[in-house]
Structure 1
Amino acid sequence: MKFLRILILFIGSFISYSGFSQTGFDLWVVETSGKGNGFTIHPETAYALTDRPEYDNQPSFINEYQMVFSAADENENYDIIVYNFDSKKFTNMSRTSDRNENSPTITDCGMYISAVVSEPDKKQRVWLYPLNFEPAELLYDDIEPVGYYDWYDNKAAMFVLGDPNKLIYARGRNDLVEIDTEVARSINTRPKTSQITYLSTRDFRNVADLKALGLKSYDIETGEELELNYGVPGAQDFIWLNKNYLLMAQGNNIYKRKYNDNVWDLVGTINSDTHQNISRMAYSEDLDVLVVAMERK
């Protein structure tokens, strides 16, 4: 982790996070306590980490004190930004004018920050940004357009846009496993397992005029498929706190449940006069913080 820390501190240059707008997304931070069933948030500690007219979203922790996310500049170019919770500084990991980087995260091997890149010819593919300052590398030249993804065994499970959208796992160049079709955007590997988990847009139930999407898993090693009940009505984003517990949000409310339960428990509400509708989230057990993306009112 010290090696990663030194590299990140020297990548790019600082950008400014200030301003006010009625549109866009910002990142908020809230302190947490407890683990598993005892997990809770402390809404009184919540604060806006970013506050700009542009887009700040898709947070992901890359180690015990640093987070990456996708941010748009005033020209609507999307770059990878690193935030260091120790130094409280933002750093550009990328600064590209001819392409956009989204959904950044650390790879399994810990040597790259990966991202979905919208290229000059409009292709959307997964690229790798080495932490040793070498040029970015294209991972799968023949798989696109990729929307979202996650990692298992140094290979990517990818949401590929189409009609219908489908979820595939790249076991090898000519060995693509089609996991499912008609899937939502949130793709997450269940911690300490070989299961790729996702929400199905085909399997849902209506709750108060909102769709609660079915949560499913596919085991890369065994091929076993499981149904893990339903998500929070109206929500498309989820994360795993650990192997057994999930988080989802609806509006400004955050909920948790055990993977084999069917009831979501409210863990807290982030009240704000300026922001609403929590979507993507990232959790750090080391820092006891939850980072959420919220829409500006």
Structure 2
Amino acid sequence: MKRLWLKSMLLLGILWGQSSTEVYLFDLVSKEDVYAISNPINISNNPGYDNQPSFMKHGRAVLYASTRNGQTDIVSYQIRTGKKTWLTNTEGSEYSPLQIGSGNAFSAIRLDQDGTQLLYKYSMYSKQGKVLIPDLKIGYHGWVDRNRLLSFVLGDPHTLQLSALKEGKNQILDEKIGRSIHKIPKTSLMSYISKQNVPWTINTLDPETGMTDLIIHTFDGSEDFAWTPSGIMFMGGGDILYKYDPNYDQDWVAMADLNDFGLNDITRLTVSPKGDKVVIVVVEKPVDK
């Protein structure tokens, strides 16, 4: 049983060795396509694993996964007040929270101690949930609309699948993919990372036709990116935060060095619906003893 659980955790990529991750909220400002971040706040401030942030649609709160009592649950952080609320309390661990539409429900990956790993739907208030897709071992996901989602399905190889919940149908669209799956603002397209070639690429995907197109390459080993509401992409490369405007930039452009804030090793990131905040997950350096 423990071996199955460990294997699932390794596939999720959530074992960080001696490292500890923290979730930071920054102000985000832009002028004439020049972006800057400032005023970092450690909103997790918790030993262990804190990761996988996403903004609520109204932009007033951030959801993320956080460790407590030896397992991982979902937390809501209210930006104005700094209040934290634990949203799950199950025997398993939850990861990758995403609000469903603009309602009072969110989806999250639940990993039980027997190795069962499924996508659940949770109420913001009840702390319990129900299975959304019973036949897929999903590691990461992104919503197309309230009925359809794209997911990273664990397997050999890992596959990108489109699921229609009402119809109960799953369709494989690609394989050898990364963990970042996001809707492209102001379009009907989705985006994901393809690992078919080196360097890896960020691709568009039309959920209606299954057609894909190249956007840009990733940094070596980086597989987390985010979109601003105006359609600019952010991605971390080591300690540097980069931006890419598909309409103007030829390549990634450096916009911030997290060493300036005493931080390092960017992993996941997400931008607020208004484009005025960005949340960045960093790897905390271990304290020398």
Q: Does 2:190 align with 1:199?
A: no
Spell out the pairing of 1:107-146 with structure 2 (5 A cutoff): 107-131=100-124, 133=126, 135-144=128-137, 146=138
Instruction: Judge conservation of contact 1:217–1:226 (CA < 8 Å) in 2.
Output: yes
Structure 2 match to 1:295: 283
Task: Provide the secondary structure at the position in 1 that maps to 2:187.
Answer: coil
Task: Provide the secondary structure at the position in 2 that maps to 1:143.
Answer: coil
Q: Does 2:277 align with 1:284?
A: no
1:150 Cα deviation (Å)?
0.4
Q: In 1, Cα distance between the equivalents of 2:229 and 2:268?
A: 17
Change (3 A) 1:109 1:280: same
Structure 1 match to 2:219: 232
Task: Provide the secondary structure at the position in 1 that maps to 2:164.
Answer: strand
Determine which of 83, 92, 104 is the counterpart of 1:89.
Answer: 83
Structure 2 match to 1:149: 141
The amino acid across from 1:112 in the alignment is: A
The amino acid across from 2:106 in the alignment is: I
1:131 Cα deviation (Å)?
3.2
Structure 1 match to 2:206: 219
Q: In 2, Cα distance between the equivalents of 1:48 and 1:132?
A: 25
Structure 1 match to 2:11: none
1:243 Cα deviation (Å)?
5.2
Determine which of 24, 29, 38 is the counterpart of 2:33.
Answer: 38
Q: Does 2:23 align with 1:27?
A: yes
Structure 2 match to 1:70: 65
Instruction: Judge conservation of contact 2:26–2:278 (CA < 8 Å) in 1.
Output: yes
Superposed CA RMSD in Å reads 2.1
Unmatched runs of 5 consecutive residues or more in structure 1: 1-21, 206-212
Instruction: Judge conservation of contact 1:190–1:243 (CA < 8 Å) in 2.
Output: no
How many residue pairs match? The answer is: 264
Structure 1 match to 2:231: 244
Instruction: Judge conservation of contact 1:30–1:41 (CA < 8 Å) in 2.
Output: no
Q: Does 2:177 align with 1:190?
A: no
The amino acid across from 2:134 in the alignment is: D
1:105 Cα deviation (Å)?
1.2
Task: Provide the secondary structure at the position in 2 that maps to 1:271.
Answer: helix
Per-residue deviation, residues 50-87 of structure 1 (Å, max 9, x unmatched): 33221111111012211100001142x11000000111
Q: Identity across aligned pairs (percent)? A: 27
1:124 Cα deviation (Å)?
1.2
Per-residue deviation, residues 240-295 of structure 1 (Å, max 9, x unmatched): 11353100001221001123544101111122686421111121143712111000
Change (3 A) 1:174 1:137: closer
Q: In 2, Cα distance between the equivalents of 1:104 and 1:42?
A: 24
Unmatched runs of 5 consecutive residues or more in structure 2: 1-17
Change (3 A) 1:135 1:266: same
Task: Provide the secondary structure at the position in 1 that maps to 2:251.
Answer: coil
TM-score relative to the length of structure 2: 0.84
Q: In 2, Cα distance between the equivalents of 1:247 and 1:184?
A: 16
Task: Provide the secondary structure at the position in 1 that maps to 2:89.
Answer: coil
Q: In 1, Cα distance between the equivalents of 2:94 and 2:143?
A: 17
The amino acid across from 2:178 in the alignment is: A
